[in-house]
Amino acid sequence: MPVSMDALADDLAAESADLRALLAPLSEQDWRRETPAVGWTIADQVSHLAYFDDVAVQSAVRPDEFEAEKARIEADGGINPDTIAEQFRDVSGDAMLTWFDEARDRLLEAFRSLDPKARVPWFGPAMSAASSLTARIMETWAHGQDVADTLGATREPSGRLRHVAHIGVGARAFSYYANGREMPDAPIRVELTAPDGDVWTWGPDDAADRVTGPALDFCLAVTQRRHRDDVDLTITGPAATEWMSFAQAFAGDAGTGREPGQFAAQHSTTGERA
């Protein structure tokens, strides 16, 4: 079935609405609460999303402008998420929410009209428009996880987790690159139980190395929002075990993840604090 940009945009809009529901009631003090991402507040999580929404629109509709900005950033040492966050720490919570709303609306409008196979430049290799929008879904879910963890909120897992899981599986090679390791040739079978009970699969069904379990737990692991010890996954074989020790679905440097046991008391495959 061909990829539908409208369907991807609808899923991103739904993921955005879930996050916005957490953000809208916040006081200014709440916006400054520290999240599980060390050194980052709720406001930093949201500015990160809004900033890269605007950059994604630039890459899609003004690629020459994006390439010039990319060259400038790379000449200055490359993308540094902490430096970006610092730029917006004087922005009020209300203004931050407005920026997030407007940036997300611009993104959805721009990407709905694109050919899903169209190549858009990015930091690193260019990607398809469909992959770029899927990455925004993953980022929104993952940073929303940090916000919800900070607030003690629980989100209902949805079928949109498939986008997160798909990126997590596809990013296996990048995970090795980010950690300075050579990826083994061994294929891995990933079998995940979706929130509605369906089974999502990737990789050859006869692979000796396997990762199985709830889709939510896999997504929490590959976005590094939970330590591997605190998720309910069955990991079989040396290649799968190695990969899942540092798997990351996001671009950039190797993540620091979460400490083992940090969220163990909250863990539940049916009611994860998300």
Reported as a single tens digit per residue, the pLDDT across 155-166 is 999 999 999 999
Kindly indicate the confidence band of residue 78, based on its pLDDT and cuts at 50, 70 and 90: confident
Which residue in this structure is represented by tokens 């930091």?
123
Between strands 119-122 and 188-193, the pairing is: unpaired
Single-letter amino acid code for the residue at 28: E
pLDDT digits (tens, 9 = 90+) for 11-60: 999 999 999 999 999 999 999 999 999 999 999 999 999 999 999 999 99
Instruction: Tell whether the model's pLDDT for residue 92 goes beyond 70.
Output: yes
Instruction: Provide the pLDDT confidence category of residue 183 given band limits of 50, 70 and 90.
Output: very high
User: Please, are residues 235 and 211 in contact by the beta-carbon 8 Å criterion?
Assistant: yes
Judged against a pLDDT cut of 60, whether residue 72 lies above it is answered with yes
Q: What is the mean pLDDT of residues 123-131?
A: 92
What is the rounded CA–CA span in Å between residue 70 and residue 1?
34
**CATH 1.20.120.450 residue ranges in the chain?**
5-151
**Chain region(s) in the chain for CATH 3.30.1050:** 161-266
Per-residue confidence (pLDDT) for residue 46, from 0 to 100: 98
CB 174 within 8 A of CB 249: no
Residue 224 has pLDDT above 50, yes or no: yes
Architecture of domain 5-151: Up-down Bundle (1.20)
Q: Tell me: pLDDT of 105 over 80.
A: yes
CA-atom Rg of the chain in angstroms: 18
**Is 176 in a helix, a strand, or coil?**
helix
**Alpha-carbon distance values, 271 to 49, 75, 216 (Å):** 25, 45, 10
pLDDT category, 263, cuts 50, 70, 90?
confident
> In CATH, what is the architecture of 161-266?
2-Layer Sandwich (3.30)
**Token duo for residue 91:** 């922005």
Does residue 90 have a pLDDT over 90? yes
pLDDT, one tens digit per residue, over 12-24 is 999 999 999 999 9
Question: For tokens 């949805």, what's the residue?
Answer: 158
Name residue, tokens 């879930």.
Answer: 18
Pairwise CA distance, residues 27 & 3, whole Å? 40
Kindly state the helix (H) or strand (E) to which residue 68 belongs, with its residue range: helix 63-75
* Placement of tokens 């490359």 in the chain: 78
Residue 179 has pLDDT above 90, yes or no: yes
Alpha-carbon distance of 118 to 130, in angstroms, equals 8
Q: Would you report the helix, strand and coil content of the chain in percent, each value rounded to 5? A: 55, 10, 35
pTM of the model: 0.93
